[in-house]
């Protein structure tokens, strides 16, 4: 092939077509969605994230939660995600507009977290689970995130923040486990994950 202008134009044009179709299209059409106003409550859908939950996204990213946990519910026509209780409806583009980084995920080595805040709203449960996953969910292969916690000597009264921990890494008598700010933010983020509000573009499907 010695018609070089053709070669260069072809190389750039083939690539450019997909760049326009995927990148530019997504940017224009999915990159500027607005939240809806709920007719029932007057609140925004999806609801905005709290400051702590936004900080928690960074902890989620820094510690690689995404590599085992997805955050997407596929439609009933394609999968059993809804029948298996991952959420009442499929997730759509508008569900993710508040996320600084979108954690759709590609693996389900661990359970999907699209609606973990609905399934497990307890702050204490999340702290205990992050500290020692296998204690609360037997057979789990999730690693311990106890490096997000501090073990310290109880000074006077035990701290109100202290979490009840059992298992091999439970502290000895006179010691307590308290979450770092990172752990608190991460749990705030996990609890905020509730994509069960109604959106007109994603009606709840019969299973």
Residues 31-70 that bind other proteins (CB under 8 A): 31-33, 60-68, 70
How far apart (Å, rounded) are the C-alpha atoms in residues 82 and 175? 43
Nearest distance, CB of residue 58 and other proteins, angstroms: 8
Stretch that binds other proteins, among 13-21, 117-125, 156-164, 183-191 (CB under 8 A): 13-21
- Give the other-Cβ count within 10 Å of 58's Cβ: 15
Question: Which residue number, 106 or 155, has a Cβ lying nearer to other proteins?
Answer: 106
Query: Of how many residues is the chain composed?
Result: 207
Question: Which residue number, 130 or 163, has a Cβ lying nearer to other proteins?
Answer: 130
Token readout for 91 is 């997730």
- Give the other-Cβ count within 10 Å of 107's Cβ: 10
Q: Which one of 9, 37, 83, 154 is in contact with other proteins (CB under 8 A)?
A: 83
200 binding other proteins? (CB under 8 A):
no
> What spatial distance separates the first Cα and last Cα of the chain, rounded to whole Å?
56
Instruction: Please say whether the beta carbons of 149 and 163 come within 8 A.
Output: yes
1 binding other proteins? (CB under 8 A):
yes
- Please give the residues from 90 up to 109 whose contact with other proteins meets the rule CB under 8 A: 90-97, 99-109
């Amino acid at each position: 092939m010695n018609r070089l202008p053709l070669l260069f134009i072809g190389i750039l044009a083939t690539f450019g077509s997909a760049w326009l179709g995927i990148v530019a299209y997504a940017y224009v059409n999915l990159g500027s969605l607005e939240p809806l106003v709920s007719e029932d409550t007057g609140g925004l859908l999806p609801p905005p994230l709290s400051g702590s939950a936004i900080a928690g996204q960074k902890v989620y990213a820094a510690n690689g939660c995404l590599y085992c946990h997805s955050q997407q519910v596929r439609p009933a026509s394609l999968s059993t995600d809804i029948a298996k209780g991952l959420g009442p409806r499929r997730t759509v583009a508008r569900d993710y507009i508040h996320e600084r980084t979108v954690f759709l995920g590609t693996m389900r080595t661990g359970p999907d977290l699209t609606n973990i805040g609905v399934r497990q709203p307890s702050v204490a449960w999340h702290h205990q689970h992050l500290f020692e996953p296998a204690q609360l969910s037997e057979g789990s292969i999730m690693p311990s995130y106890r490096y997000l916690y501090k073990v310290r000597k109880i000074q006077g009264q035990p701290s109100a923040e202290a979490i009840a921990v059992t298992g091999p890494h439970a502290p000895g008598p006179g010691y307590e486990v308290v979450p770092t700010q990172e752990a608190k933010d991460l749990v705030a983020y996990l609890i905020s994950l509730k994509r069960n509000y109604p959106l007109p573009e994603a009606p709840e499907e019969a299973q």
